[in-house]
Amino acid sequence: MDRARFLKQTPLFSGFSDREIESVLGTAKERGFAAGDSIITEGQEGGRGFYLVLTGSAEARRGETVLAQFGPGDYFGEMALLLEDTPRTADIVATVETSCVVITQWDLGALIKVHPEIGVKMMSELARRLRDTDATLSD
């Protein structure tokens, strides 16, 4: 899989230059999860990672309730990048074998120091996602 091209096709990274994508990929780690593995645990305060699904799928759950489903190109855990000491708000569980790109809060901070425009581009997409979520909840 050409990870650079994949990232450019996702909403979060679509506006990034090739140089910015390469910087992200140089910082990011890839992690694999088996079906049923917990990726994020509700209430967890450590592991300040943001996840982008490369392959497979995962679900956000609170108890037995499925809150969201994630497939290739979807992301979760962005609040941990933006807000320190914020506990995770749901469990994220791999529903099949899943591979994710993970960016930690510290790695993102280092990226933004070198490429400030990355922070602006990401914040725009995250604000759009928050607006869309708010509109969905208002309906």
What DSSP string describes 97-126? Answer: SEEEEEEEHHHHHHHHHH-HHHHHHHHHHH
The yes/no answer on whether domain 3-132 falls in CATH 2.60.120.10 is yes
| Distances, alpha carbon 9 to alpha carbons 28, 120, 122, 139, in Å | 17, 18, 14, 29
Residue 102 has pLDDT above 80, yes or no: yes
CA dihedral (106, 110, 113, 119) positive or negative: negative
Q: Per-domain residue ranges for the chain?
A: 3-132
For the chain, what is the mean pLDDT?
A: 85
Confidence of residue 15 (pLDDT cuts 50, 70, 90): confident
Q: Output the pTM of the full model.
A: 0.82
Which pLDDT value is given to residue 53? 95
pLDDT at 119: 82
